[in-house]
Amino acid sequence: MTAYYLTTPIFYVNAQPHMGHAYSTVVADAVCRYQRLLGKDVRFQTGTDEHGDKIVHAAADAEVSVKEYVDKISAMFKAAWPPLAIVPDTFVRTTDPAHMGVVQGVLQQVYDQGDIYFSEYTGLYCKGCEQFLTEKELVDGKCPDHLTEPDQISEQNYFFRMSKYQEWLIDHISKNPEFITPERYRNEVLSFLKEPLEDLCISRPTTRLTWGIPLPFDSRFVTYVWFDALINYLSGLGYPAGQDFSRYWPVAEHVIAKDILKPHAIYWPTMLKAMGIEPYKRLHVHGYWNMNETKMSKSLGNVVRPGELVTEFGADSVRYFLLREMSFGLDAGFSKEALMARHNSDLTNDLGNLFSRSLTMVKNFAASCVPQPGTPSDQDRELAEAALAMLGHYREHLDHFAFHRALAAVWEVISRANKYIVSTQPWELVKDPQQAAQLGTVLYTLLETLRLITLVLHPIMPETAAKMAEALGVTDENNLSDCGTWGRLVPGSAITHGAQLFPRLQQETKDKPQPQKNKAKKEPSTGKASAAETAPEEEGLVTFDAFQNLELRVAEIVAAEKIAKSDRLLKLTVKAPEERTIVAGIAQHYQPEELVGRQVIIVANLKPAKLMGVASHGMVLAAKDGDRLVLSALSGPVAPGSRVA
């Protein structure tokens, strides 16, 4: 059996689990489940990073011993994953004696061969990052991640001869296009490597910090956090002697967020090279979840707790949203409204309805049994072919961590199947005994399509897929190649009409301001709601706050197509910066092909609406000039997603 090894970062225990952690770990869990579906022998590792002065400070603030503190937060991380249906195989803690022993062994080896030396270092040190920053990395003299000024520090320390491996690393990245993905991060690293690489400071004097792994060759120092943390990827496999190491390390892949790109793309491969170990196979780098344009972080106080979301929406809905909404590598906006919209539209309406309508028809028209299919018509064949083609697209996208594309491919089949029900009208076929064979074909085609959808949803929404599999009587299907063929359902076998997959959720209204009633207005309504209805003395004016509530963003049109049966509407796919669909009433003014590549201004937080059956997430701004409609534009190119204010 082919092996597969995937890790999340080990998370730093100075804060509780948040959405960023949950995203990395959901991604890793989904990929590991997918690799198992391909028949591989998978090892999935996560854990916690527990050394460093930030931890000491956090423990002091909490008035507990450092050990108590790390035990408590590490346990919170461990407990955060089962509710999200995340099932790691190993959970490494850097305070585990086994891990500490491996780190000391590596340090001694690299020291003995002369790649660690003693020297003096002066630099700008950010306490938040626990690292020295270069002038270049500062923004207005401050650490861009922590928005604080770094301190000038000078001290004696040990250094890893990282510069020695710079040429090798450039060469390795150049020869292995998938070593760092997506490509933008590979380019970022290569561009960083154009400058001479400095050696890496790998120690802290015990006068300043004792909460760390002692250097085996000088007890006056403890190990600097990266030379400790990164080695978890080996220690979790029982390196150097363990069989797991020889089995899984050659196929190792890491998932990280972009803030730790440099340690993973530069420090880690050079460390491995110095140790005489082959580098990992692929590094997968994702972006941030933004709330109100800022990175989610504890210090900024805009943290969403994954546990709260699971309680409100259910694990599968949260997993689906995270994987569908973000295009891996880019930043994406997070809001409960968007999660609610996806839940109600994609899950309840599209998937939930398809499942319950199909099974209800099988129950009512075929006595809850898989019917015998007759000769398929073109329409039946088309749906079957689309479902089979989807399997290929799904695999290709998941192999490259393009979760949003993989899911878009699945949902296209779901949408086709819903349309197929409308056009084949099984409720009419059942009235005519002459059409019994045709009815059998239609229901069989729907059930097979659902079976294939169930198969590919296992990695994404494990609980939902399990429910679907049970209703279809295919709980033993666990291999994409074996089960990804048409016609495995056996006519006559029982179908159980399962429970509703996703309850429809209502938007909470308690936080919303009540619309102000205006008694003064008496004249009959013109039919158009007027903004002036709220404040007669400031007719036509809105407050700055009201304006701020409107989220205007720059969007780049990446695809445009006509909507069938509408001569007014176009379906646009835009990047803002996440990909979204917007339906725009501009078909009489623009041809789809002239729109691709254009940048426009959109209202990004408009409540989603369905137009001609297509869910629209936002509105494109355009000017009306008589009969003409002219799209908004920018006077120069701008990064998609930039806020307009």
> Which residues are marked as active site?
18, 21, 126, 129, 143, 146, 295, 298
| CB closer to Zn ion, 126 vs 456 | 126
| CB closer to Zn ion, 125 vs 313 | 125
Going by C-alpha positions, the residue among 20, 52, 413, 432 that lies closest to residue 208 is: 52
Q: Name 567's Cβ contacts closer than 8 Å, sequence gap at least 6.
A: 587, 588
| CB closer to Zn ion, 146 vs 416 | 146
| CB closer to Zn ion, 138 vs 603 | 138
Q: How far is the CB of 72 from Zn ion (least distance, A)?
A: 25
| CB closer to Zn ion, 132 vs 328 | 132
The length of the chain in residues reads 645
Q: How far is the CB of 145 from Zn ion (least distance, A)?
A: 5
Position 365: which residue type? Answer: F
Q: Name 527's Cβ contacts closer than 8 Å, sequence gap at least 6.
A: none
User: Could you report how far apart the first and last alpha carbons of the chain are, in Å?
Assistant: 55
Q: How far is the CB of 389 from Zn ion (least distance, A)?
A: 47
Q: Name 538's Cβ contacts closer than 8 Å, sequence gap at least 6.
A: none
Instruction: Please work out, in degrees rounded to the nearest 5, the angle formed at the alpha carbon of residue 507 by the alpha carbons of 504 and 509.
Output: 150
Read off the DSSP letter of residue 624: E
Binding site for Zn ion (CB under 5 A): 126, 128-129, 143, 145-146
What does the alpha-carbon distance between residue 299 and residue 309 come to, in Å, rounded to a whole number? Answer: 21
Q: Are strands 116-126 and 131-133 parallel, antiparallel or unpaired?
A: antiparallel
The position carrying tokens 């995203």 is 23
| CB closer to Zn ion, 116 vs 143 | 143
Q: How far is the CB of 12 from Zn ion (least distance, A)?
A: 13
What does the alpha-carbon distance between residue 470 and residue 466 come to, in Å, rounded to a whole number? Answer: 6
Read off the DSSP letter of residue 592: G
The position carrying tokens 């479902």 is 387
Read off the DSSP letter of residue 385: H
Q: Are 110 and 216 spatial neighbours (Cβ–Cβ below 8 Å)?
A: no
| CB closer to Zn ion, 299 vs 500 | 299
Q: Which two tokens stand for residue 183?
A: 């490509």
What does the alpha-carbon distance between residue 415 and residue 407 come to, in Å, rounded to a whole number? Answer: 12
Q: Are 586 and 536 spatial neighbours (Cβ–Cβ below 8 Å)?
A: no
| CB closer to Zn ion, 138 vs 275 | 138
| CB closer to Zn ion, 173 vs 260 | 260
CA distances from 517 to 5, 383, 524, 532, 534 (A): 61, 52, 15, 12, 7
| CB closer to Zn ion, 125 vs 249 | 125
The position carrying tokens 């933004």 is 290
Q: Are strands 570-575 and 609-611 parallel, antiparallel or unpaired?
A: unpaired
Chain centre to alpha carbon of residue 484: 25
For every residue of 396-425, DSSP letters joined together read: HHHHTT-HHHHHHHHHHHHHHHHHHHHHH-
Q: Which two tokens stand for residue 378?
A: 């073109």
What does the alpha-carbon distance between residue 209 and residue 56 come to, in Å, rounded to a whole number? Answer: 9
Q: How far is the CB of 127 from Zn ion (least distance, A)?
A: 7
Q: How far is the CB of 209 from Zn ion (least distance, A)?
A: 17
| CB closer to Zn ion, 125 vs 590 | 125
What does the alpha-carbon distance between residue 45 and residue 237 come to, in Å, rounded to a whole number? Answer: 9
- Helices 166-175 + 183-192 axis angle, to 10: 150
Q: Can you tell me whether residue 561 is helix, strand or coil? A: strand
What does the alpha-carbon distance between residue 583 and residue 565 come to, in Å, rounded to a whole number? Answer: 14
Residue 43 burial (10 A CB sphere; 0-12, 13-18, 19+): buried
Q: Which two tokens stand for residue 234?
A: 């080996």
- Helices 268-275 + 166-175 axis angle, to 10: 110
Q: How far is the CB of 515 from Zn ion (least distance, A)?
A: 44
| CB closer to Zn ion, 85 vs 266 | 266
What does the alpha-carbon distance between residue 276 and residue 261 come to, in Å, rounded to a whole number? Answer: 22
Chain centre to alpha carbon of residue 593: 30
Going by C-alpha positions, the residue among 287, 334, 264 that lies closest to residue 24 is: 287
Q: Are 494 and 369 spatial neighbours (Cβ–Cβ below 8 Å)?
A: yes
